[in-house]
Amino acid sequence: MTTSTSAAVAQALAGADAVTILCHVRPDADTIGSGLALGLALQRRGVDVEVAFPGGIELPQAMRALPGYTLLVDEADLVGHPVVVSVDAASRGRLESLQPTFTAATRTIAIDHHASNDGFADLDLIDATADCTAVLVLAVLDELGVTIDLDIATCLYAGLVTDTGSFKWARPESFRIAARLLDTGVDARTWSRILLDTHPFAWLPMVGSVLTAAQLVPGAFDGAGLVYAVVDNDLLAGMSWEESESVVDIVRTAAEAEVAAVFKETAPGAWSVSLRSKSSIDLVPIAGVHGGGGHRQASGYSDEGTAAEVIARFLKSA
C-alpha cells in the first residue's frame, strides 16, 4: 500500500462539489468527530455534504451534542456523492452496510490511523503514528486552508481526547494540537465530562455485576496474564450499546494481567470483543486471528455464539 499525503487528499477534496463522509460501525467520538469536522469544513467551502454511519442504531447521546450533528443523515437517505471519504475505519468491512455507497463512488478516500489498515481506497491517508483520525483530518483541513473555528475544533477535540484516553497515552504532537484547539475556545472540562465521564445510574450496578464476575487467567499469553469480563445482553438491558464501551478501561487496571478482554453482547448471540494490552503484547495479530484489527495496544473483533463459545475461541488464541 502506498500512503497518500494530506496534501493529495486536500487536492482531491478541493475540486469536489459534493462529498459523502462515512463513519465506522458502532461509532466512537473519533470517527464521528472526524466526520463532522471534515463535513463542517467542506460545507463552509460550499460543498454539498452528507455524513453517515452504518447500522441503523442511535448515535450515542454524547455525540449528539457535537456541532455539525445535523450533517448526519440516516443511511436510508444517503445520496452517495461521487467523492466518498471514510474516516477512522480500519477496513472497508468496518463500514458494514455502507460499503456499497463507498464502492459506488468515482473517487474514494480513506483517512485512518489503525495499524491494521492495509488501505482500501483510491487515496489512503493512513498514519499509524497518529493518535487519532481527527489529527489527520486537521492536517487535511490545514492543507485546504480552512480556518479552524470553535465548532470544527470541538469535533476534532472530541476525537483527540477520547482516542488518547484523556491524553494518558498522547504523543507530544497531540498536546500541541490540543493547545491549538483549546485556543479556539473549546470547553475541555465540559466535553471531557460529556464524552468520558457520564453514564446513566443503571450503569453503576451493571458494572458492579460485570466486575464481580471478572476472571483472571494468570497463565495466558505465556504467563503475561489475561483478565476478562462479560457484558451480556441481559446485563445491558435498558441501556444503549455504548454503555458497555468503557468497561474495558476498568477491567484492564488489574495488575496481574498484561491483556484485558471484554466480551460485549451487542444483540442476542452477536458479540463485539474489546482487547487491551499494557506494553509487551501486540494485539493486532491476535485480533487478526479472529477477523478483527486495530492498534497495537487496543484492538477488537466480532464473533457469534454463546458467551462460553466465544470465550473458549478467544482463550485458544491467548
Q: Which stretch binds Mn ion (CB under 5 A): 86-94, 178-186, 218-226, 280-288?
A: 86-94
Smallest separation (angstroms) from Mn ion to the CB of 88: 4
Smallest separation (angstroms) from Mn ion to the CB of 288: 18
Q: Of residues 101-160, which lie at the interface with Mn ion (CB under 5 A)?
A: 132-133
- Total residues at the site for Mn ion (CB under 5 A)? 5
Q: Which stretch binds Mn ion (CB under 5 A): 24-32, 74-82, 89-97, 288-296?
A: 24-32
Pattern 54-73, binding to Mn ion, x per CB under 5 A?
--------------------
Residue with smaller CB distance to Mn ion, 207 or 248: 248
Other C-beta atoms closer than 10 Å to the C-beta of 132 total: 27
Residue with smaller CB distance to Mn ion, 134 or 247: 134
Smallest separation (angstroms) from Mn ion to the CB of 298: 9
Residue with smaller CB distance to Mn ion, 132 or 261: 132
Smallest separation (angstroms) from Mn ion to the CB of 174: 12
Residue 239's Cβ-count burial label (10 Å; 0-12, 13-18, 19+) is middle
Grid coordinates representing 49 are 455534504
Residue with smaller CB distance to Mn ion, 157 or 221: 157
Smallest separation (angstroms) from Mn ion to the CB of 165: 12
Smallest separation (angstroms) from Mn ion to the CB of 227: 24
3-state secondary structure of 138: helix
Residue with smaller CB distance to Mn ion, 29 or 235: 29
The reply to whether 163 sits near Mn ion by the rule CB under 5 A is: yes
Closest residue to Mn ion, Cβ-based? 30
Residue with smaller CB distance to Mn ion, 88 or 151: 88
Q: Which helix (H) or strand (E) holds 193?
A: helix 188-196
Taking a C-beta distance cutoff of 8 angstroms, is the pair 134, 33 a contact?
A: yes
Indicate the DSSP class of residue 283.
Answer: H
Smallest separation (angstroms) from Mn ion to the CB of 186: 18
**In whole angstroms, how far apart are CA 239 and each of 35, 179, 214, 236?**
25, 35, 20, 5
Residue with smaller CB distance to Mn ion, 94 or 252: 94
Grid coordinates representing 297 are 495496544
Amino acid at 21: I
3-state secondary structure of 27: coil
Q: Of residues 164-223, which lie at the interface with Mn ion (CB under 5 A)?
A: none
The reply to whether 242 sits near Mn ion by the rule CB under 5 A is: no
Smallest separation (angstroms) from Mn ion to the CB of 113: 6
Residues 6+ apart with CB under 8 A from 250: 207, 211
From CA 76, how far away is CA 54, in angstroms rounded? 10
Grid coordinates representing 51 are 455524513
Residue with smaller CB distance to Mn ion, 89 or 310: 89
From CA 96, how far away is CA 261, in angstroms rounded? 23
Q: How many helices (DSSP H) and strands (DSSP E) are in the chain?
A: 13, 11
Other C-beta atoms closer than 10 Å to the C-beta of 246 total: 17
Q: Which helix (H) or strand (E) holds 25?
A: none
The reply to whether 88 sits near Mn ion by the rule CB under 5 A is: yes
Q: What is the contact surface with Mn ion in residues (CB under 5 A)?
A: 30, 88, 132-133, 163
